[in-house]
Amino acid sequence: MPTIFIDNLPYEVKEGKNLLETCLSLGFDLPYFCWHPAMGSVGACRQCAVKIFKDENDSTGRIMMSCMEAVKEGLRLSIADPTARAFRKQNIEWLMTNHPHDCPVCDEGGSCHLQDMTVMTGHDYRRYTFKKRTHVNQYLGPLLNHEMNRCIQCYRCVRFYREYAGGTDLNVFGAHHHVYFGREKDGVLESPFSGNLAEVCPTGVFTDKTLKQHYTRKWDLTSAPSICQHCSMGCNIIAGERYGKLRCIVNRYNSDVNGYFICDKGRYGYEFVNSVSRIAEPLIRNQPVEAVNETALMRHLEGLVTQFPLVGIGSPRASMESNFALMELVGKENFFQGTNDDQAYLERRMVEMLQQDGLPGVSLKAIENADAVLILGEDIWNTAPMMALAVRQSVMKTAADQAVQQSSLANWHDAAIKELVQDKKGFLANITVADAPLNKLATISAQDCPDNIARLGFAIAQVLHPVLPPVSGIPENDLQKIQLIATALQKAERPVIITGSSSCSETVIKAAYNIVQSLRATGKDAGISFVFPECNSMGLALMNVPSLENALERIRTNSDCTVIVLENDIFRHIVPEKADMFLSRCKHLVVMDSLHNRTTEKAHVLIPSATFAEADGTLVNNEGRAQHYYQVYMPFNPHIKESWKWLDKIKKLKTPSAGRSALHPDECLAELESVLPQFENITGVMPSHQFRINGQSIPREPHRYSGRTAMRAHIAVSEAKPLQDGDSPLTYTMEGYPGIPPESLTPFFWSPGWNSGQAVNKYQQETGGALRNENPGVMLFKHNKDHIGKFITDYPDPFTPIPGKYLLLPQHQLFGSEEMSAYSETLSELIPDMVIALSGNDAKTLGVTDGAMIAIEKNEFSYPLPLKIRNDLKSGIVLVPAGYQAMPYFPWGSWVKLRV
Amino acid sequence: MERPLTKNIHAGRQPLSLKEYVSTGGYSSMQQVLKKFTPHEVQQLVQKSNLKGRGGAGFNTGMKWSFVPMGEDCPRPKYLIANADEMEPGTFKDRLLLEGNPHQLIEGMIIAAYAIQANISYIFLRWAYKKAAAILERSIQEAYEAGWLGQHIMGTGFSLDMHLHTGAGRYMCGEETALLNALEGKRATPRAKPPFPQVSGLFGKPTIVNNVETLCCVPHIIANGAEWFQGLSYSGDAGTKIYGVSGKVNNPGAWELPMGVTMRELIEEHAGGMKKGYRLKGVLPGGASTDFLTEQHMDIKMDFKSVAAAGSRLGTGTMVVMDDATCPVGFLHNLQHFFAQESCGWCTPCREGLPWVEKLLLAIEAGMGKQEDVDMLQMHTQWLQPGNTFCALAPGAMEPLQSALKYFREDFDRHIREKKCPY
Amino acid sequence: MLSAEEIKSIDHEVAKLPQKRAAVIEALKIIQQHRGWVSDESVTAIAEHLNMSPAEVDSVATFYNLIFRKPVGRHVILLCDSISCYVMGYKHIYEALQQKLQIKFGETTADQRFTLLPNACLGCCDHAPALMINNDLHRDIKLETLDDLLSKYT
Ligand SMILES: Cc1cc2nc3c(=O)[nH]c(=O)nc-3n(C[C@H](O)[C@H](O)[C@H](O)COP(=O)(O)O)c2cc1C
Ligand code: SF4
Ligand code: FES
């Protein structure tokens, strides 16, 4: 570790870093704009100037940009040097010459990096007396507001949007002091990562348009650490509330998971929480007054749960606590997964591979650092956007690493590296059912039917590990592809294979398994990542309980029972006839959920559940990482409660002797751990609810939280007692522990002088590294390095179309397919049309053209949709958007007929 | 007095065709190099001749070439680029060479390319030089036809392609790294150095960018040797130099003269002295981005070292004379308007600082300036210095300003005092 | 839509470069040569031809001052406003042009005959003031002969 001198004091620092990140990591305040920890240095803004001295005898020194200079043994620099400080102050003054002084009406005010840096440098009085340049703003779609006059030309937006996230429709235009950042003309930004611009931009050019509708300053938000609910990646988020409404979602840094960014589904999906179709009160249907209070509800439920056998239906989007509480209530033998047979089976297989066969599941961070990626059968751009972003980083970083090795450049020297890299890319093979957005990055891409994808995968494994039986009948033109992929994986040091359940095929998953095992057998540190459909699919699958169909069977044999459905619209998991049959047969149907849906409509008793924002809960993400989300605010309506709390109350009706007064989430997890050993250590996701620092709780509100006494003034002048949170160490006030809280309990990033999210650098061990002690979350799988499971040799036969029939497969859409985010009014604008896709050949055989109405039929199931011909599809496949709100569950993965 | 670069250039005459050029001894240096020299020997010879870059910075050319990675496993292809962007206000020397003797440049480029083993070369020509473009296009064609360009030149292992690329405007394109971006079809913003273009240049490959005049010297150095080249000069900096004078002089123009002639000789003899009724007030010795010199400097030698000693830079060697009837504040405003417009918009001090300077000067010129405005100008000259900005454009812009504040301060004060332009 | 001739010229430039997109400035100039200026539609057409996005093409197009993103007159006058021409009185020429053509810098005459633009140093400072009309350089401009000069461009 080299020693450098900062203002004459020695510091041992890490090699290979630039001086700016080094100083920030050491805790110094040094202003910057164009540098970003995830994007490296370009030296444009000139804000990070320091003095650098040749040696200890040099007292003159030179002003240099700290972000462009490497750490070197013995290097001497000064941050406090008067000239350096004066220059930094001057630089801000330049930036501010054209900046509108509109902080009071700017959405960024109070969480603005530019404000922070301006104060930090000491620039206060304006000396520029001339006219400012002004710009016309653009319409950029429903997600982001554009106010170009606030731009300070740090070029971060284009660097993030284009280079980091691969978008092509945002750019810089013009020259000199007229440079303009936007689209070539008004229009919706195309990248599903565009929302990050609100955080990447150091000032208020790009701001969250949904926040604008119910604007609240950062300092007036009540926030809590939370977990994104909209896919299985488990991105860490911060959710903020005011006046009983969820106001915004921002990224919560976790270097193992989402790093500095989240996708637009995660940022904007939250609107469902504020939806008008929230279930607000308990209902007991078919009585004169359906809405009841809690006492009436409990009285009614008492009969239902004590006099009838119970059946519980779990949910892949409900927390561990809630699923487990339901299981505890109904008994393990009466608890069923809320997913259908096929899906449950696939998920089970994936879990087994990680749990028993020792496959090393990897994090998003590890995917970023992979040096070759193979994706089998999963369109991750649409099913796991942040994973797609991670794959993009892998592809770019691999090429950059090669360039760096051949030169003496440091890896943070962004522009210079891009110049060396040119168009070169790291290895990515993307083998999917249909053309996928990630193909633009891929070295090799192909589209085929799941069985053929699997065969390709098995063949790759066979090349890697020749003792495996060969896959016969591989088409000539696939052989080369197989060879190329195998060679690339073999050559790589950290290859990663990605697959998932969305191609509805076990064989694909098995093929991925074989490839990873083959690589491991030859001593490679290969990793795998499985994509699951929902935020807690993994957690539910880990519980290892029978599928929904088994519950159907149970009801068929004995319908005289009380069925409790937990946060689950079962119409999304089984075809309507079956769902209808199931729901109509239940003698008593108790449904708990937060929003009305097809299942809640049928409920005899409806119980309002809290959403993630109003609840404590734990989710297990696709890698088996358990993570806890905390209640952001008490439900606006006292009838709304966390499902697990309701279930605990109901349980007391059944066994009044249980004797516990109230259940807390940590206790709930402790019980889960003791009952289901596969959840060992899950209690580590959160400190005990009694945890305090110096006797103090952790405030959810920043200490400048304003107007608390005024908020209720129209109701009562005396201030209400702050709400109490008995479930966690967090508190609903601004009073409490003033320092940096433990990682898993961080409700917002703030540090003196750092009001914007950039304050995160004060929470990290080093910039871009793990959070101070460690990243929050608990890994439930321990991967056994030495154990290599058995190989699979039952290869599928080549796909052969059945005349007159088509294999029905889901097309997942980033916006539209996931249940809860589809309730976000804003995102609903971005949902692509419903179409049925067929290959050109099949369309010809059927004698139809684009736009023709075609019905998908199977047994009694029939559903018409307009046709879209897609030549990337193999004949014999029909592709339909999955999970759209109004659409029924389709029998995915089965053969269907088409009626023109 | 020898005038190797321009001896075959005659005003009003067509430039030499390839045949004519050969008849004056042209392309013999190139043949000699390809047959008898190793690349290393060419580099050494040029380095020894002490040829310094004529693009403005005055770096030893042979030394610059020696930074290019050589040998079997070096990155390829390598590139040689002739910088014919000539957009520095007050500069018109490369035009003379381009329009007057294109084959001299092409020969110089072939030798330079050979010295660094580049196989692709470009002439980056500014958009406005339409005549030069036509001439170069034709001459490159001739050179291909003669076999001096293309595959296996003269049956040797050396191949070289040459392309003419014309710009689309912007002074920044002359800055060598911005030029590379422009050639790559990008916005002409500069690149960070290091890495230097010699190592990672065009499309990330080793690249040499040389000024037109620099390259034109090369065939003559090969033909006559390093000592001869040094002997051409009156001073420590070798060779001849194309000097120019514009402004209110009797005979504005450009002349090839021994490096180190005095400013007085240039202005009084070659440019014929000031026009009647005008007195010399100041001189920008080497283009718009050099510090003013004044009458007191008339006897300095116009070479890199002497001009620097006098507090300015030789720059391009083409000087702009400011007479006593021209308002220095207006003169400065014109310059700063140019620089502010031509800032690429990449770095803060230049993008935001130069328009501020321009507005201050406009206000002062219009009689609306305040005393603090001069401090503000001073402040900018203090901060817009090399290292503080991303490239040399803004520091270049400060050179005439800082020296004007030194020599013509009274003019600024008078504008402010009298609340009008006294000129 | 690009014409066959435009495509041919663009592809000729593409052939000289290791990457298609590197020819974008050339492509813009070729379009401008044929059409006088570069419209939004042209930007899109170039983008398609070079596998770029329109935003990427426009980002380059708007950087360079001699790519015209607005329609221009039949003849474009580029009047040098840099230092030597300033000293030699380009402002008088500018005033005269304003008067004769009734347009300022950046404007086009009502009859679409001329567009007047300022231009940085044309590199003939020894013959200042200077201007270009289309591809023709005119040096040592005198007020007296300005009419004559303009009359050649109809
Ligand atoms: C803003 C700016 C503009 C420049 N313009 C030119 C130019 O038009 N022609 C030129 O030869 N060099 C120009 N230069 C210098 C080049 O960057 C580079 O130093 C030169 O081409 C190297 O050639 P030489 O070593 O032969 O002098 C410019 C530099 C700057 C900073
Ligand atoms: S000094 Fe900065 S803004 Fe100016 S031209 Fe150079 S890089 Fe561009
Ligand atoms: S952060 Fe270093 S120059 Fe911008």
CATH of domain A806-899: 2.40.40.20
Nearest CA in chain C to B204: C18
Nearest CA in chain C to B344: C63
Q: In what side-by-side order are the strands of the sheet with A427-432?
A: A444-447, A427-432, A372-376, A495-500, A527-531
Supply the pLDDT for residue A636.
79
Q: Is B181 in the pocket of ligand 1 (CB under 6 A)?
A: no
Q: Which chains touch B (3 or more CB pairs under 8 A)?
A: A, C
Q: Which of B65, B122, B175 should be mutated for ligand 1, with most atoms under 8 A from CB?
A: B175
Chain A interface includes B380 (CB < 8 A): no
Partner residue facing A173 (CB), from C53, C59, C65: C59
CATH of domain A345-532: 3.40.228.10
Supply the pLDDT for residue A777.
95
**What token pair was written down for A580?**
């209808």
CB pairs under 8 A between B and C: 134
Query: C87-92 long-range CB contacts below 8 Å, 24 or more apart?
Result: C87/B246, C87/B247, C87/B248, C87/B320, C87/B321, C87/B322, C87/B323, C87/B326, C87/B331, C87/C128, C88/B246, C88/B247, C88/B248, C88/C128, C88/C129, C89/C129, C90/C128, C90/C129, C92/C143
Supply the pLDDT for residue A657.
72
Residue from B342, B352, B356, B374 to probe the interface with A (highest A Cβ count within 10 Å)? B352
| Atom of ligand 3 lying closest to residue A154 CA | 4
Q: Mean pLDDT in runs of 10 for chain A (900 residues)? A: 97 96 97 97 98 95 97 97 98 96 94 97 95 96 98 98 98 97 97 98 98 95 98 98 95 97 98 95 92 94 96 98 96 96 96 90 97 98 98 97 89 94 96 96 96 97 96 93 97 97 96 96 94 97 96 93 97 94 95 97 97 97 97 91 95 78 86 95 95 96 82 80 90 93 95 96 95 93 83 95 94 96 96 95 95 91 93 94 92 93
Tell whether omega for the bond before C118 is within 30 degrees of 0, i.e. cis: no
Partner residue facing B356 (CB), from A47, A97, A179: A97
Q: Is B344 in the pocket of ligand 2 (CB under 6 A)?
A: yes
Distance from CA of B50 to the nearest CA of A (A): 29
Chain B interface includes A176 (CB < 8 A): yes
Distance from CA of B101 to the nearest CA of A (A): 35
Residue C55 to residue A174, Cβ atoms within 8 A: no
Residue B334 to residue C82, Cβ atoms within 8 A: yes
Supply the pLDDT for residue A581.
93
Residue B345 to residue A415, Cβ atoms within 8 A: no
Residue C125 to residue B88, Cβ atoms within 8 A: no
**Closest CA relative to residue A607, chosen from A559, A648, A571, A576:** A648
Nearest CA in chain A to B169: A175
Q: Which CATH class is domain C75-151?
A: alpha beta
Under a CB-based contact definition with an 8 Å cutoff, are residues B194 and B201 in contact? no
Q: How far apart are CA A174 and CA A148, in angstroms?
A: 13
Partner residue facing A168 (CB), from C53, C63, C64: C53
Could you say which DSSP state residue A782 is in? -
Supply the pLDDT for residue B334.
98
Nearest CA in chain B to C60: B187
Chain C interface includes B170 (CB < 8 A): yes
Residue from C62, C63, C68, C69 to probe the interface with A (highest A Cβ count within 10 Å)? C62
Which positions in chain A touch C64 (Cβ < 8 Å)?
175
Distance from CA of A159 to the nearest CA of C (A): 13
Under a CB-based contact definition with an 8 Å cutoff, are residues A81 and A51 in contact? yes
Tell me which of 1.20.210.10, 2.40.160.10, 3.30.565.10, 1.10.10.1590 is the CATH number of domain C4-63: 1.10.10.1590
Which positions in chain B touch C132 (Cβ < 8 Å)?
128
**What token pair was written down for B406?**
């030194």
Stated as kind and residue range, the H or E segment containing A274 is none
Residue A416 to residue B199, Cβ atoms within 8 A: no
Supply the pLDDT for residue B297.
97
Q: How far apart are CA A836 and CA A434, in angstroms?
A: 13
Q: Which of B54, B88, B213 should be mutated for ligand 1, with most atoms under 8 A from CB?
A: B88
**What token pair was written down for A90?**
């001057």
Helix or strand or coil: residue A682?
A: helix
**Closest CA relative to residue B298, chosen from B257, B241, B245, B230:** B245
The domain segmentation of chain C, as residue ranges, is 4-63, 75-151
Other C-beta atoms lying within 10 Å of the C-beta of residue A513: 27
Supply the pLDDT for residue B405.
98
The domain segmentation of chain A, as residue ranges, is 3-95, 345-532, 806-899
Chain B interface includes C9 (CB < 8 A): no
Give the pairing of strands A806-811 and A895-899: antiparallel
Distances (CA, A) of A889 to A812, A884, B126, B165: 13, 9, 64, 60
Supply the pLDDT for residue A660.
60
Which positions in chain C touch B318 (Cβ < 8 Å)?
125
Distance from CA of B37 to the nearest CA of A (A): 30
Q: Which of residues 322-361 of B touch A (CB under 8 A)?
A: 340-349, 351-356, 359
Distance from CA of A185 to the nearest CA of C (A): 8
Single-letter residue type at A623: E
Q: Is B211 in the pocket of ligand 1 (CB under 6 A)?
A: yes
Distances (CA, A) of A24 to A35, A122, A414, A769, B118: 12, 19, 19, 12, 43
Q: Is B87 in the pocket of ligand 1 (CB under 6 A)?
A: yes
Kindly give the distance from the C-alpha atom of residue A22 to the centroid of ligand 3, in angstroms, as a whole number.
Answer: 13
Chain C interface includes B334 (CB < 8 A): yes
Query: A665-670 long-range CB contacts below 8 Å, 24 or more apart?
Result: A665/A321, A665/A616, A665/A617, A665/A618, A665/A628, A665/A689, A665/A727, A665/A728, A668/A321, A668/A324, A668/A325, A668/A644, A669/A320, A669/A321, A669/A618
User: Which tens digit of pLDDT belongs to each residue from C68-95?
Assistant: 999 999 999 999 999 999 999 999 999 9
Q: How far apart are CA B410 and CA B414, in angstroms?
A: 6
Chain C interface includes A423 (CB < 8 A): yes
**Closest CA relative to residue B139, chosen from B64, B92, B84:** B84
What φ, ψ does residue C114 adopt, rounded to 5°? -125, 145
Tell whether omega for the bond before C18 is within 30 degrees of 0, i.e. cis: no
Supply the pLDDT for residue A782.
84
Q: How far apart are CA A50 and CA A29, in angstroms?
A: 12
Distance from CA of B227 to the nearest CA of C (A): 33
Under a CB-based contact definition with an 8 Å cutoff, are residues B140 and B148 in contact? no
Supply the pLDDT for residue A7.
97
The span from the first CA to the last CA of chain A, in angstroms, equals 71
CATH T-level assignment (fold) for domain A3-95: Ubiquitin-like (UB roll) (3.10.20)
Supply the pLDDT for residue A706.
81
Give the pairing of strands A588-593 and A495-500: unpaired
Supply the pLDDT for residue A661.
60
Chain A interface includes C63 (CB < 8 A): yes
Chain B interface includes C87 (CB < 8 A): yes
User: Which tens digit of pLDDT belongs to each residue from C113-125?
Assistant: 999 999 999 999 9
CA R_g for chain C: 18
Distances (CA, A) of A213 to A263, A363, A822, B244: 20, 35, 18, 64
Nearest CA in chain A to C22: A422
Under a CB-based contact definition with an 8 Å cutoff, are residues A2 and A73 in contact? yes
Which positions in chain C touch B165 (Cβ < 8 Å)?
26
Nearest CA in chain A to B337: A176
Kindly give the distance from the C-alpha atom of residue A385 to the centroid of ligand 3, in angstroms, as a whole number.
Answer: 30
Residue A176 to residue B351, Cβ atoms within 8 A: yes
Kindly give the distance from the C-alpha atom of residue A42 to the centroid of ligand 3, in angstroms, as a whole number.
Answer: 7
Q: Which chains touch C (3 or more CB pairs under 8 A)?
A: A, B
Flag residues of chain B having pLDDT under 50. Answer: none
Which positions in chain C touch B334 (Cβ < 8 Å)?
81-83, 86
Q: Hey, which bits of A340-404 come out as E strands?
A: 372-376
Kindly give the distance from the C-alpha atom of residue B284 to the centroid of ligand 2, in angstroms, as a whole number.
Answer: 22
Kindly give the distance from the C-alpha atom of residue A115 to the centroid of ligand 2, in angstroms, as a whole number.
Answer: 24
On whether ipTM exceeds 0.90, the answer is yes
